[in-house]
Amino acid sequence: MMKKLATITTCMLLALSFAAQVHAVEGGNPKKGKHLYKKECKACHSKGDAAGELTPMSKTMSQWDRFFKRDMHKVKPDVFQNLSEKDRLDIQQFLYDHAADSDQPQTCG
């Protein structure tokens, strides 16, 4: 019974690990995304700005995914329209990788 439980647990952990790696492979380049985030997003999303401060830790990983897939910056859609799909994926990957519930949360200082 214990051996079967250990096998099932191991399989589940491998599946979760694989799912996390698939997300990273399908996503963009987080290093480029950090650069683009600072260049494209921080202009309006810094402390004290009208749009309000926004950092990777402002949302969870699933909230960032939802923002890029459904919301698409609906408050000011031209922001996303002016970025290439690759640039959006790079920014999304950076924000996802450093979200509040990620293994490496950060603010992007």
The 10s digit of each residue's pLDDT in 27-73 is: 799 999 999 999 999 989 988 888 889 999 999 999 999 999 999 99
Mean pLDDT for 68-79 is 92
Q: Give dist(CA 34, CA 108) in Å, integer.
A: 7
Give the count of domains, the chain.
1
- The rounded mean pLDDT for the chain is 84
Amino acid present at 55 = T
Containing structural domain, residue 81:
29-97
pTM above 0.75, yes or no: no
Cβ atoms of 32 and 83 closer than 8 Å: no
Q: Burial, 50: exposed, middle or buried (Cβ in 10 Å; 0-12, 13-18, 19+)?
A: exposed
- Residue 84, domain member (yes or no): yes
Mean pLDDT for 91-105 is 95
- Residue 11, domain member (yes or no): no
Q: Give dist(CA 47, CA 12) in Å, integer.
A: 41
- Residue 55, domain member (yes or no): yes
Cβ atoms of 65 and 96 closer than 8 Å: yes
- Residue 18, domain member (yes or no): no
- Band of residue 19 on the pLDDT scale cut at 50, 70, 90: very low
